[in-house]
Every structure is written in structure tokens, then in C-alpha cells.
Amino acid sequence: MIKDKRFYQFLHKQIPVLTFLSVFPGLGYIFLGWLYDVHLRAIIWYIMILLVSFWGFRLYRNFDFDEMSRIAKQRWYAELSYYYYAFFILWTVIFILYAGETESNLHYIAIFTQIGASVVASTLLSSDKKLFTPAILILMIPLVIYFANIGEWYGYVLTIFACIFTWVLFYSSTSSFNLLMKTSFQASHDLLTGLHNRYFFIGHLQETMNSLKESNHYSYLLLIDLDYFKTINDSLGHDIGDQLLQEVSTRFRKIVPRNNLVARLGGDEFIITGANYETLSECQKKAMELSNQLLSALKEIYVIDRHNLYISSSIGVSLIDASISDANNFIKEADIAMYEVKAKGRDGVYLFNKEMSERVEMHLEIERRLHFVLEKNEITLNYQPQYDKNKKIIGTEALARWRNEKLGDISPVDFIPIAEQTGIIVELGNYILKSGFQTLREWHENGIHLKQFSINISMRQFFHSTFIAEVKRLARLYLTEELMTVVVFEVTESIIAEDIDKVITIINEIKSLGIRFSMDDFGTGYSSLSYLTQLPIDEIKIDRAFVNALEHSEGDQAMITTILHMADIFKLNIVAEGVETDAQFDFLARHDCSIFQGYLFSPPITKDKFSQLYSS
């Protein structure tokens, strides 16, 4: 039997109904008792009814589903059962007392009220088999015995009728009970997997937390998300996806201990609450043990419709203690930990900690403040010089800097991805373009003549519908045709993930202005020879990770010489970024790298410092 919130609420609501149905008809007995001079019995009985009703009133008042722990609820339920039994026993008592009053015909009234009480018991308590079965028996057995004891033929007929009536009562209560069980099963379970659903889970979690508050124990929450489930769903169809989820649920059932609760939150997200543990360390140990067990069990091969499928999962763990009273808070913590796993490459488990939530807070804070960044003029551009083999400045890369009054300096590594996610990058990117173009023009007019002026273009900005028009507008506004050929847009390999024809169209459209394109962070992403031949790019920037590893790794040396060789074949310019040592510079120069950028020469510097450096 599923004792969920609705079950308890249903029984709770019956308390006043039953009290009402007893206290008022009970007055009738007092009246009759007075009429036929049998009042003492009736009054004693009625006092008992009032006492039991008072008990019911207390039970009614002491119930608060959301605040009660599991044990408190069990206790409450047990007491409620006794209360109901007491009520029906009292009705049977009055029946026995008046059944013999044949002279005053009070026995007729006793019989009718007894039948009425049975009907009431079977309808009011139909939500709980454990309650209505004894109640019907308590009420009907004395009646059957009474009829059988009459000794006349009509008594036997009545006995048979009473038996049939008892059976009818059982039958109707049982069928409404079964119906109720079915609907409450559906309301609390996930139809696809048969696991508990979100609705039930939240109630269960709240209950667990109430228990922990009483006992000062600990428990855990595991949030499990399947990795790349969407890909399977999209490529093989929802039918296969559904079967996979069912198979996953079967594995859960096998592994998760009985005293834990597994629920499907929706999609490919599952959640588990643990049992209660006395110490935090034991709780943590158990949570990690179960997580690792699940990780490896879920990773085993699935054979569905002759497809061999592999799927890993990401698990976020949060530990539940009595100090926090909001169930959603723990789910949020597990969620943060789970996203941390996703961000770190999936297929793993993380325990939530404070730093994680601080990171998330910081992320949100950056996101909030990013909206006002242009309005408040907080973005500036720094310029990192680029050098040729003779260590002469021939170009620069513009790099965004953000100084916020509250947060201080925020690295582009932190805010550019957030600007991308939120779409602010479009507006921000346009501002960077404008500001860069203005500087290029200004420098040109002041005698600073560069061969190239690189600006980073993020993927979302690149694909935005207004990008081409905006570049054209700004270029015509601030640059001459000659200066346009100095501009280089740096894009990353991630753009290749999109429709390649679209990428080529956009690049060509902008190249018609004279602006060139550079492949940034080359070698870290989707690098493939085939797109190098397809994309109309002019330059490659070797990622600083390779340059950095030059001295230690022969593999990276080979990689760089290969890239340089390739660049030569495709007639591409090569920029080495992140050059920090003379040895790196020498190696690259020896292998015909043409442009160098890095701390060996200069970090990114302000606009004014750049002019000074150039002039000296």
C-alpha cells in the first residue's frame, strides 16, 4: 500500500465526518433511553462516544504531513487505527445493549443503526484495507450472530441476508480500494519505468528531512544524469530510448539497497535518497560507494533491438543534514555537483562542496553584471604585440578586459563564455569591433603602421544574423580600404561543428572587404586536414599549449613542424602564440614560423603603452 500524502490526507479528512456521524445520531439514543427509561446505559455510552470524539479531535489537530517525520506518521497512523476501531466497537456495544429490547421495539433501531454504521465504515475507510476489514467484521459479526440466535425460520433468512450484505460491503470497499490504489500508484510512479516520480520523491525527501531533524542523523542524495542520452534518442528513435531507460531502471532496482528510494525526475534524470546514518563520514562513504557501483553498472553494454549501446553517467552527490529545511536546496546542490561532472568531461561522480556553489554564485553574479557592462563603459581593449623573426612589431591582437567596481578585474576566460551563453556576446562583440577599428584608425593616423590587427570573434557572434552587416557598417565607418586589409578575425575550430557551407559563405562575404581570417588555438579542437583545404582562411595560430610543451616533448615538436609544413603547402600565415622562452622562439624561427606573440616579448598592454612601445 502506498502511504503517500493523499492517503494520509484522505484518512485525516474522515475524522470529523465520522465524529459528526456519531455524535448527532448518538443523541437519538439518549432521547430513546429517556423515552423508554433505559437512559443510564445510553448516557454512559454517549459519554464514551464524546471521549473518543475528543481523542479524534486531537488526532485531527496533531496532523501536519509536511512537518511530520516518517516515524511520527507511522505512530499517528497506528493511533488513528485504534481510534477508528474504538468508534465501531462502541457502536457494536450499543447494539448489544439494545438488541434485547424487543418489548419497546428498540432492537429494530439497534439493527438499523448497526447496518448504517457498517455502510458508513465501508465507504469512509475504503482507502485502507487494514481499516475497513476489521471495522466491517466488528459491526457485522454481532448482527449475524443475533439473527442466527432468533431461532425462527425468518431469523435464518436474515442471517443469510446479513452474510450476503457483509460480502457486498467487502466487495464494494475492495473494488474502490483497488481503484484508489491504482490511481495513487499512477500519481506517484513514473509510467515508463515504474520507478517513483518527482511528485512522490519531493514528499519522501521532505519526510526524510523531518526524520533527520528528530534524530540528528545524515542521509544523501544522488542525482544521476545519463551522458549523451539525447544523441541516442535522436539518432535511434524514442522507442529505443524508452527501452534503454527501462533497462537503466532495472539496473537501479538491482543495485540500490532496499532502504533507499529511487525516482525518475524526468527525461534521463534519476534521483536516489539514502538511508539514515549516524555520522557524516559514514554517510559520505556509503554515498560514494553506491555512486561508483552505479557508474560501473550503468556503463555495461546494453543490447536493445540488436543495437549494442554504451552509455555513461554523471552523478552529483549532496549530503543531507538537519540544518537545512528546504528539500529543493539539496536537489539544487546535487544538481550543481552533477553539472560539475558534466563540465569536467562527464562519466564521474562529484560530492557537492561550498566552492562549487561559490563558483555557481560567481557565474550568476558575472551574468547579472555583464548586462550593464557596456552601459557602464567597463570594457576596454588591451593589445598584445606580434613580432616578426627580427623581433620587430608587425601586428597586434586585441584582447578584451573587464574591470567591475564590485568584482574587480574579470578574466575574459571567465566572462566570454558566459557572454556567449547569454547572447550578450553579440552586442559586446560589436562594441569590441568598433573600439578596435577606432584604435587601428587612430594609430594609423599617428604613424603606427601595422601589418595585422587581430580581433577575436566568438562563434555565436560569427553566426548571428546581423554579423556581416555590422562588420560592413563599422568597417566603412572607421576604416579605409587599405586598413581593412590589415584586420584579421580570429575564429576557433568550434565553428566547424556548424554547417560548413554556411561558414564558408560568411567568411567569403567578409573577406570581400579585405579582412582576413585566422584559425585560433589551432590543434586543440576538431582539426582535420580536409577542412583546412575547404575553409578560405589565411592564417593559423598554433595554440600556446603546443608552444609551451616544445622543450619537453618531441611529439609536440613533430606536431609543430608538421603544422608549419602544412601551412607552407596551403600558403597560410603562421602565428605562434604563448612564446615564453628564447628556446621556443629559436625552434619556431628555425622552422620558418613567421609571426610570434607571447610573454617573451610582451604581455597584452594598454593602448597607450602599445603606442609607446611601438615608438621606442
Chain residues in the site for Ca ion (CB under 5 A):
456, 490, 520-521
CB 546 within 8 A of CB 523: yes
Applying CB under 6 A, the span of 89-97, 437-445, 571-579, 588-596 interacting with ligand C2E comes to 571-579
**Total residues at interface with ligand C2E (CB under 6 A):** 21
| Residue carrying the nine cell digits 613542424 | 561
Residue 426 touches which of ligand C2E, Ca ion, none (Cβ within 5-8 Å per kind): none
**Contacts (Cβ under 8 Å, ≥6 apart) of 203:** 4, 5, 65
Contact with ligand C2E (CB under 6 A) among 386, 598, 610, 611: 598
Least gap, CB of 490 to Ca ion (angstroms): 4
Residue 379 touches which of ligand C2E, Ca ion, none (Cβ within 5-8 Å per kind): none
185 or 601, CB closer to ligand C2E? 601
The x, y and z cell numbers of residue 291, run together, are 555512486
By CB under 6 A, is residue 458 in contact with ligand C2E? Answer: yes
CB 518 within 8 A of CB 543: no
| DSSP state, residue 496 | G
By CB under 6 A, is residue 544 in contact with ligand C2E? Answer: yes
By CB under 6 A, is residue 400 in contact with ligand C2E? Answer: yes
Applying CB under 6 A, the span of 27-35, 47-55, 169-177, 455-463 interacting with ligand C2E comes to 455-463
CB 79 within 8 A of CB 59: yes
**Contacts (Cβ under 8 Å, ≥6 apart) of 614:** 385, 393, 443, 448
| Residue carrying the nine cell digits 520507478 | 195
186 or 466, CB closer to ligand C2E? 466
90 or 432, CB closer to ligand C2E? 432
By CB under 6 A, is residue 395 in contact with ligand C2E? Answer: no
By CB under 6 A, is residue 333 in contact with ligand C2E? Answer: no
By CB under 6 A, is residue 464 in contact with ligand C2E? Answer: no
Alpha carbon distance 110, 39 (integer Å):
15
Residue 458 touches which of ligand C2E, Ca ion, none (Cβ within 5-8 Å per kind): ligand C2E
Least gap, CB of 565 to ligand C2E (angstroms): 23
Alpha helices in 423-485 (DSSP H): 424-445, 459-463, 467-478, 481-484
By CB under 6 A, is residue 228 in contact with ligand C2E? Answer: no
Give SS3 for 132.
Answer: helix
Give SS3 for 599.
Answer: coil
By CB under 6 A, is residue 386 in contact with ligand C2E? Answer: no
Residue 414 belongs to what H/E stretch? helix 412-422
CB 311 within 8 A of CB 244: yes
Alpha carbon distance 152, 48 (integer Å):
35
Closest CA to 542 of 470, 483, 488, 596: 596
Applying CB under 6 A, the span of 69-77, 350-358, 453-461, 561-569 interacting with ligand C2E comes to 453-461
Question: How many residues in total does the chain contain?
Answer: 616
Least gap, CB of 471 to ligand C2E (angstroms): 14
Contact with ligand C2E (CB under 6 A) among 19, 173, 386, 456: 456
CB 515 within 8 A of CB 475: yes
Task: Please report the DSSP string for 26-81 in residue order.
Answer: HHHHHHHHHHTT-HHHHHHHHHHHHHHHHHHHHHHHT--TTT--HHHHHHHHHHHH
Least gap, CB of 498 to ligand C2E (angstroms): 16
Least gap, CB of 433 to ligand C2E (angstroms): 9
Alpha carbon distance 455, 517 (integer Å):
10
60 by Cβ neighbours in 10 Å (0-12 / 13-18 / 19+) ranks as middle
Least gap, CB of 548 to ligand C2E (angstroms): 7
24 by Cβ neighbours in 10 Å (0-12 / 13-18 / 19+) ranks as exposed
143 or 426, CB closer to ligand C2E? 426
Q: Which residues pair with 399 in a beta bridge?
A: 382
Q: ∠ CA(350), CA(354), CA(355), 5° rounding?
A: 80
By CB under 6 A, is residue 416 in contact with ligand C2E? Answer: yes
Least gap, CB of 534 to Ca ion (angstroms): 21
79 or 420, CB closer to ligand C2E? 420
Residue 611 touches which of Ca ion, ligand C2E, none (Cβ within 5-8 Å per kind): none
Least gap, CB of 362 to Ca ion (angstroms): 24
Least gap, CB of 267 to ligand C2E (angstroms): 32
Applying CB under 6 A, the span of 217-225, 348-356, 527-535, 578-586 interacting with ligand C2E comes to 578-586
| Residue carrying the nine cell digits 512537518 | 67
Applying CB under 6 A, the span of 191-199, 267-275, 325-333, 452-460 interacting with ligand C2E comes to 452-460
Residue 604 touches which of Ca ion, ligand C2E, none (Cβ within 5-8 Å per kind): ligand C2E
Query: In angstroms, what is the C-alpha Rg of the chain?
Result: 39
Q: What number of CA atoms fall less than 13 Å from residue 323's CA on the CB side?
A: 2
Binding mask 500-519 for ligand C2E (x = CB under 6 A): --------------------
Residues in 421-440 that interact with ligand C2E by CB under 6 A: 432
91 or 522, CB closer to Ca ion? 522
333 or 521, CB closer to Ca ion? 521
Least gap, CB of 454 to ligand C2E (angstroms): 8
116 or 412, CB closer to Ca ion? 412
- Contact set with ligand C2E (CB under 6 A): 384, 399-400, 411-413, 416, 432, 456-458, 520-521, 544, 577-580, 598-599, 604
